[in-house]
Amino acid sequence: MAGSGTAHLRGEEALLSVRDLVVEYPTKGGVVQAVSKVSFDVLPGETLGIVGESGCGKSTTGRAVLRLDRLTAGQIDFAGERIDEASGKRMRELRRSIQMIFQDPVASLNPRRSVKDIVVEGLAVTGAPAAERASTSSSILEQVGLGSERFADMMPRQLSGGQAQRVAIGRALALHPQLLICDEPVSALDVSVQAQILNLIEELKAQFNLTVVFIAHDLGVVRAVSDDVLVMYLGKVCEFGDADMVYDQPAHPYTRALLDSVPLTDAERGFTGPALEGDLPSPLSPPTGCRFRTRCPRAEERCAAEEPEIQEIRPGQYAACHFPLSLGATVTLAPAAEEPAAESTPETTSETEAAAVPAAAAEPAATVEPAATIEARTDPVAVPAALEKPAPTDESAAGAKSAPLEKPAPAEKPAPAEKPSPAEKPAPVEEPVPAAKSVPAEAAVPAAAVATAAVVEKSESAGEAAAATTSEPAASAEDVVPAEDVVPAAPAATAEAAKPAAAAAEPVKSEPAKSDI
């Protein structure tokens, strides 16, 4: 929630004091309310960090302090003098004590001047002699880490981003200011260069006894350099207080949401908490009452009707919120995620695998019959209706073999198969015989010989009759039943069907024996 008020101001001892600052920009679509009644102050030698989302009015506030943008309303005091009422001439004199480092260092440098002239450009405006400007230029470049002579004659286009920012810092320090306003000074720099610039600012602050207003959207950078932190949202102040207190125990829901949105180095966690959802409302028509209520999880009817005032939540910590956070409180900004599927325990996994293995093993047994049941017959055999099943194809056999265990078969139990007779041993399941291929006559003869030999053992002339009977069906390939027409018979049905076939074969076996006699 965002509001207004001056309860957090610390009185006349502040070097810079801003009260109810308003900056608006008239446009064809309406009035852009960039800053609306913002108040803060900075003590001598202190660093105030101003943080918030893009478009919250941070940079506009910094530019308004230097009167680079026109003020709509408000009061600005610097060292006991009203800046908002100063004349143009007096404002130019005051700017020697208030310098600014701009966000884009290259764009802020004069492209037609060398580095040594840019650094002392402010002194040239004040009418300082050339000897003073030359000595100051050499000294400042040495302090910002550009002491080599090769940098003095370089043009801005020949500098890297970090080098250009060092030149901008040197230009600001050449006038020995009391207040330094840094507007996103490291946002366009690499991480390693950021550290160098931040360390340089800290060293120069101590050396020149500077008071700094540090504007940034990087929460980590702001905490590293700031003594106090001011959190802004859509042109309003949300929270103000000691940096450690604001970061460790935020009192405002928006501050908590910003901290939870910071990416972590842990790739699995991603963020500290749920990221802030939605975008900033339009500054052309901001929400009534609290401007953060449209994105706040704690908003109620009062937030839409009444604008909150800044109040002290804890000693040294202030927030503009009707329902501030208590110590250790968290904010839920996103709906709770769906509960993940229950992980399978070792017992559940073992039961699932145990159920899947018999089902997968039973599948090839139901589709692949033992090879011993395929017989060559000279007369049709009546087959029970329950056994009339089509022969499995290559695709079904391949599917039965490659069925994955991770997807067990349905819970239906396969029909119990009749137990085979002791004399017949079913073929192994791991090497099923493709049923689509026709059985050649040479492979059918041994099966017929086995069935015939079982009958001949009961006859009186077993030796000669068995040889004659075995040769007759093998002579004609037409007598062999193709595999597509062969119906796999159960072991019991095969034994019963073999009896009439053997009885019909007995007269045929005895005739050659009589003719030989």
- In this prediction, residue 313 carries a pLDDT of 93
Q: How far apart are CA 393 and CA 437, in angstroms?
A: 9
Q: What values do phi and psi take at 148, rounded to 5?
A: -65, 145
CA distances from 389 to 124, 383, 425 (A): 106, 11, 21
CA distances from 240 to 81, 381, 417 (A): 24, 99, 82
Residue range 259-269: mean pLDDT, rounded:
73
Q: How far apart are CA 362 and CA 207, in angstroms?
A: 86
- Tens of pLDDT, residue by residue over 72-97, are 999 999 999 999 999 999 999 999 99
How would you class 153 by CB atoms within 10 Å of its CB: exposed for 0-12, middle for 13-18, buried for 19 or more? Answer: exposed
Of the two residues 288 and 449, the one the predictor is more confident about is: 288
Residue 233, pLDDT > 70, answer: yes
Residue 281, pLDDT > 70, answer: yes
CB 308 within 8 A of CB 3: yes
Q: How far apart are CA 262 and CA 273, in angstroms?
A: 8
- In this prediction, residue 6 carries a pLDDT of 84
- Confidence band, pLDDT 50/70/90 cuts, at residue 260: confident
Q: Residue 361's beta-bridge partner residues?
A: none
- Confidence band, pLDDT 50/70/90 cuts, at residue 273: low
Using alpha carbons only, give the angle 122, 91, 15 rounded to the nearest 5 degrees. 95
Highest mean pLDDT (candidates 236-240, 427-431, 492-496): 236-240
Quick one: which of 348, 384, 283 has its CA closest to 55? 283
Listed as own residue / partner, the contacts of 106-109 with beta carbons closer than 8 Å and 24 or more positions apart are 106/156, 106/157, 106/159, 106/161, 106/164, 108/168, 109/156, 109/164, 109/167, 109/168
Quick one: which of 469, 468, 475 has its CA closest to 501? 469
Of the two residues 353 and 15, the one the predictor is more confident about is: 15
- Confidence band, pLDDT 50/70/90 cuts, at residue 266: low
- In this prediction, residue 104 carries a pLDDT of 86
- In this prediction, residue 390 carries a pLDDT of 45
- Biggest CA pair distance of the chain: 151
Highest mean pLDDT (candidates 138-142, 267-271, 429-433): 138-142
Indicate the pTM of the whole model.
0.63
- Tens of pLDDT, residue by residue over 356-412, are 444 434 444 444 444 444 333 444 444 444 444 444 444 443 333 444 444 444 444
The helix (run of H) or strand (run of E) holding residue 30 is strand 30-42
CA gyration radius, the chain: 47
Residue range 181-210: mean pLDDT, rounded:
90
CATH architecture of 11-227+443-511: 3-Layer(aba) Sandwich (3.40)
- In this prediction, residue 263 carries a pLDDT of 77
325: number of Cβ within 10 Å: 19
Residue range 54-83: mean pLDDT, rounded:
94
Least confident residue range of 118-122, 243-247, 309-313, 355-359: 355-359
- In this prediction, residue 330 carries a pLDDT of 54
Helix, coil or strand: residue 259 = helix
Of the two residues 130 and 501, the one the predictor is more confident about is: 130
Residue range 266-293: mean pLDDT, rounded:
79
Domain with CATH 3.40.50.300 in the chain: 11-227+443-511
- In this prediction, residue 405 carries a pLDDT of 44
Q: How far apart are CA 182 and CA 51, in angstroms?
A: 12
Residue range 153-171: mean pLDDT, rounded:
92
- In this prediction, residue 148 carries a pLDDT of 76
Residue 339, pLDDT > 50, answer: no
Q: What values do phi and psi take at 10, rounded to 5?
A: -110, 15
Mean pLDDT of the chain: 73
- Tens of pLDDT, residue by residue over 421-469, are 444 444 554 444 444 444 444 444 444 444 444 444 444 444 444 444 4
CA of residue 318 relative to chain centroid, distance: 35
Residue range 18-38: mean pLDDT, rounded:
94
Q: How far apart are CA 76 and CA 64, in angstroms?
A: 9
| Count of H-run helices and E-run strands, the chain | 18, 12
**Tokens linked to 414:** 């396969």
